[in-house]
Chain A
Amino acid sequence: MGARTFISGWPVYRQLTGDDPLGRGAAVKSEHSATLQPRVRTASKVVKSVCPYCAVGCGQNVYVEDGPDGERVTQIEGDPDSPVSRGRLCPKGAASLQLTTGSSREYKVRYRRPHGKDWEDLELDTAMDMIADRVIETRRAYWQDEAEGRYVNRTMGFASLGGATLDNEENYLIKKLFTALGAIQIENQARV
């Protein structure tokens, strides 16, 4: 590196001689910052989505990168096309990358047996079988053909309380299946 290049590499030199006297643009760029690329540049695809927090319904662009371990989400940004949000996200929406990919998410089924002191491991398939058995048993044990002399055709044995960040399609299956099972205590956050 010659002396001239060395000197011209100093931001203060470039600031004094170039067209960026306040040092807020080109003058202060290092080689590192000049070659930085936005995380979204390397995405293999951009998936259209919607913020999962409140009911404003801000548009999201979900950036996915294909790597050796398969696809992963690398960034979530506001969708500028959305007539609702015009590309903006609030602190929660902007943190949805951490919500979806953060280390505090659980990925294993946990099981606590009656009177148990701690969690145990359980296979997902086993858990599903056990839950299906519980539903059938409880439904039968607490079945009512009639209540106060009137036809009711129901079970009061189990209840469901859902969040309201579930998809419409999910709610539809909850209502359809539980109603067909005769359960009526099916509720969600909208009541709360």
Chain B
Amino acid sequence: MAECHPVGFQWVLEAKARGATVIHVDPRFTRTSALADLHVPIRAGTDIAFLGGLINHVLSTGSYFADYVIAYTNAATIIGEGFSDTEDGDGVFSGLDPESRSYDAGTWQYEGTEVAAASGHRDQQQYKRLGKGSSPGSKSGRGESHGSGGASLQGEPERDETLRHPRCVFQILRRHYARYTPEMVERVCGIPQHLFHQVADALVSSSGRDRTSAFVYAVGWTQHTVGVQYIRSAAILQSLLGNIGRPGGGIMALRGHASIQGSTDIPTLYNLLPGYIPMPHAHEHETLDDFIAADSAAKGYWGDMRAYMVSLMKAWWGAAATAENDYCFDYLPRLTGSHSTYETVMAQQAGECKGYFLMGENPAVGSANAKMQRLGMANLDWLVVRDFSLIESATWWKDGPEVESKQMRTKDIGTEVFFLPAAAHTEKDGSFTNTQRMLQFHHQAVEPQGDARSDLWFMYHLGRLVRERLAASTDPRDRPILDLTWDYPTKGPIAEPDAEAVLAEINGWDAHGQPLASYEQLNEDGSTACGCWIYCGVYADGVNQAARRKPAGEQNWVANEWGWAWPANRRLLYNRASADPDGKPWSERKALVWWDEEKALWTGHDIPDFTASKSPHYRPPKGATRGEALSGVDPFVMQADGKAWLFVPSGLTDGPLPAHYEPQDSPFRNLLYAQQRNPVRQVFPHPANRYHPTPGERGADVFPYVLSTYRLTEHHTAGGMTRWVPYLAELQPEMFCEVSPELAAERGLEHGGWVTVVTARNAIEARVMVTERMKPLVVDGRVTHQVGLPYHWGRNGYSRGDAANELSSMALDPNIHIQEVKALTCDVRPGRRPRGKARDRLVRRYQRRARIGTSTGTEM
């Protein structure tokens, strides 16, 4: 955090100054470790085992926050009889279909009911119930294609608040985590038991009624074949400790880009519509009603999904969207599986995807297996790159590694490339959503020079030009584009669209065109329009709330008059949980919101994330639905049962509980289960995307070292915004590789000299940095070396070097399709890498030595 989010880290140090204990768990010793009370080196890729050890500790010592757990989590809920755990399946849950390599989540359900997930793979179970059959594309990992028969949505989940029922979540957790002992943590993660106990004791003693602990992770946690289950492990632990929805608690994702939260909320993601509404999948004869029925929940705020969805389509298609035509629901394209960026790369190579827009993104450096990215781009008809400078993704056709090694010749590459210079944040109006869901508006200071334009300008005018060309078309396929509301006002010498007008559409308006103030005003009858329901209120009263800048010193510590946070400007999600079931703060020092008996309202320092007038003693009448169905003690209002999910009955593709699996490339067998890797991870067999052998197989020891990638303070992701900036290029002038003195001695590496790092994908070179910050760990009795590589570099700009992502493979988490780049294996050898064709020859030699073939490492 000190390295990559240094200004945010000031608050950690404030907390430390006030007595907080700061623990840093990381394979490397960094600037964060230097300021922490405790640094815990860990083998990359083993966090589920470590967190599992902590969960086991909390459960077996009775250190959980019992009142919180019983009232606010699904610990008491009873799971159906058909469920069997990894305990019974030696590492796999019930419902695994080896043929399609996917789970049928049917047996993971609550007894007596079915619930829809608030996020993730939402229509997993529900489609069966509708009798609509399956959807194609088992590779999507969507459970709907193999769901079980449907229990009624109307049922109430059975609960046992004594937590004794053998099938209640609490007891399932106990059994599941029993094997995650401190001894096992030591063997798997390389964390000595005394260090583990220090962490456990600090965490437990700083959680409960009077104290809270926070988890902070950088999104490297997501970059594993089990990424989602990493986060889930933290969620289980924090829920057991009562650290969610309370001040000083939570799980904080430190995201690395100015508006990466915004680009998920208003998603440029294949599987989502704005506000986390799922993109529709292809089904036979699907209507809007079917879609809503499959994806919404009977209870909780997702019960109002129809209002959000209809309002979105009204924002997009205006008057053309009517009740008679299902508000243009048929205009939406349909999914048939996963269409993530990695599937797109495969489709490009297969010749099925011929055009590509890159807007502020540099996959030739930043995406896993950089060569695969370039091979995809080399097979396009056209490529549009919009950026500040000539990044590697714009110039690979003349100077990329494959051109250098003569694997490709420029004159053979048919890709037409347009490079369009982009405008900077100082040259345009717009809002960023920071990592705490807060929108902040930045104002234009000057006009962009030359051909530089904002992406807002580019998209608006591209849409205008396309619509002009199609204006006379009678083809029904063109209706969605011709009926689109696309009349944004423009201003200034370059006809820049008015960003506030776009923000106003995102916020939404009523039938009279008046700005809406809250998503609770959205209707399902087409009388409201709203481009992103969770952002509804950001333009309340016609005022740009994201541009509010009341100085910090002039308001309370929550500071909710600075910018605007979704939903409804609430700064801490699920903050009803900061009060006890009766509505009183758990303790005075941890008070945030509470029930004011006299006024019969929720009040407090923050805006309550709860219906303001709903008493803690409210219990829903029988048959209640949506928000009304949540009781006064259901703080997790987006969940169908209002509870924090220790066990996830619906929405995940790889299990209702986290289980430790080894990374795709690992030097160790899984010590916890016979199942080596996540059985439903996604792999892409391809000559340029080979995987390493499974430990124990012949040739596995060819890649003996653990490799992890990371960022530096002075550079940003794939370098497009830093390697061309002289100050930053000077501060971090070239690619390097961190190794321990022990590894340097073992392989003859010299500090300041060169090292070649090799995987089955490629070989790169870097300057050697020998440092005690990289500590060899003892894993399962064996000394294990870890190698650290920053991944910012490419061949262009002022600060240059080989890209770390030449080494990584495309192996993905099955829920979110994110690549595993934080835990790989490699070999290191002194000296520079070979040039020209010799580079490929070296990699092929390694492949032969390791006996790598088409199917290596792809087994379930």
Footprint of B on A, CB under 8 Å?
45, 47-60, 62, 64, 70-73, 76, 79-86, 88-96, 98-100, 102, 104-119, 122, 124, 127-136, 138, 141-143, 145, 147-177, 179-192
Q: Given A160-B359, A171-B262, A173-B502, does the pair A189, B445 have CB atoms closer than 8 Å?
A: no
User: Could you tell me if B360 and A57 are in contact, using CB atoms closer than 8 angstroms?
Assistant: no
Q: Which residues of chain B are within 8 angstroms of A141 by Cβ–Cβ distance?
A: 354
* Distance between B187 CB and nearest chain A CB, rounded to angstroms: 33
Contact of A85 among B7, B260, B415, B563 (CB under 8 A): B7
Pick from A48, A76, A109: contact of B443, CB below 8 A: A48
**Central interface residue in A93, A112, A134, A138, by most chain B CB within 10 Å:** A112
How distant is the Cα of A169 from the Cα of B356 in the complex, in angstroms? 21
Interface centre among B425, B439, B797, by most chain A C-beta atoms within 10 angstroms, is B425
Question: Is B359 a contact partner of A166 (Cβ separation < 8 A)?
Answer: yes
B213 near A: Cβ within 8 Å?
no
Q: How far is the CA of A14 from the CA of B273 in the complex (A)?
A: 70
Q: Are A114 and B418 in contact (CB under 8 A)?
A: no
- Are B481 and A188 touching (Cβ within 8 A)? no
CB distance from B12 to the nearest CB of A (A): 12
Q: Which residues of B sit under 8 angstroms from A95, Cβ to Cβ?
A: 722, 725, 727-728
- CB <8 Å contact, B430 and A167: yes
Q: Which residue of B lies closest to A158 (CB)?
A: B355
Q: Could you tell me if A159 and B360 are in contact, using CB atoms closer than 8 angstroms?
A: no
Closest CB-CB distance, B93 to chain A, in whole Å?
A: 26
Q: Could you list 7 A-B pairs, sorted by A, with CB under 8 Å?
A: A106-B387, A112-B419, A136-B469, A159-B341, A177-B462, A184-B333, A184-B334
Chain A residues contacting B445 (CB-CB under 8 Å) are 45, 47, 49, 62, 64, 71, 73
- Taking CB atoms, residues of chain A closer than 8 Å to B551 are 80-81
B 419-439 binary contact with A (CB < 8 Å = 1; else 0):
111001111111111111011
By a CB distance below 8 angstroms, the chain A residues around B265 are 168
Beyond known contacts A142-B352, A162-B268: 19 more, CB 8 A cutoff:
A55-B255, A62-B445, A92-B713, A102-B725, A104-B726, A104-B797, A105-B424, A106-B419, A115-B410, A133-B469, A150-B283, A165-B259, A169-B429, A169-B502, A172-B532, A179-B316, A181-B480, A184-B334, A192-B819
Q: Is B118 an interface residue (CB 8 A)?
A: no
Interface assignment of B257: CB less than 8 Å from any CB of chain A: yes
Question: With A and B bound together, what is the CA distance between A85 and B258 in angstroms?
Answer: 14
Q: Is B430 a contact partner of A170 (Cβ separation < 8 A)? A: yes
- Contact present for A108 and B484 (CB under 8 Å): no
Residues of B within 8 A of A48 (CB): 442-443, 547, 549
Residue pair A151, B440 in contact (C-beta under 8 Å)? no
Among B8, B10, B332, B506, contact of A168 (Cβ-Cβ < 8 Å): B506
Binds A, one of B105-113, B228-236, B451-459, B690-698: B451-459
9 closest Cβ pairs, A-B complex = A163-B360, A167-B430, A107-B450, A57-B434, A158-B355, A154-B333, A164-B257, A83-B552, A164-B260
- Chain B, residues 239-276, CB within 8 Å of chain A (1/0): the string is 00000000000000011111111111111111001100
Q: In the complex, are the beta carbons of A56 and B7 less than 8 A apart?
A: yes
Is there contact, CB below 8 Å, between A168 and B431?
yes
B461 within 8 A of A: yes
B176-184, B361-369, B702-710, B774-782 - the one binding chain A: B361-369
Scan B199-230; emit 1 where CB is below 8 A from any A CB, else 0.
Answer: 00000000000000000000000000000000
**Shortest CB distance A154–B (Å):** 3
A98 to B412, CA, bound (A): 37
Pick from A83, A104, A156: contact of B353, CB under 8 Å: A156
Complex Cα spacing A12 to B15, Å: 45
A155 to chain B, nearest CB (A): 8
- From the candidates A47, A70, A96, A163, name the one contacting B257 in the complex (CB within 8 A): A163
Complex-state Cα separation, A45 to B819, whole angstroms:
45
- Provide the B543-554 mask, 1 if CB < 8 A to any CB of A, else 0: 000010101110
Question: Is the beta-carbon distance between B431 and A167 smaller than 8 angstroms?
Answer: yes
Residues of A within 8 A of B502 (CB): 169, 172-173
Known interface pairs A107-B451, A109-B420, A191-B269; A148-B411 also in contact (CB < 8 Å): no
Contact A179 B728, beta carbon cutoff 8 Å: no
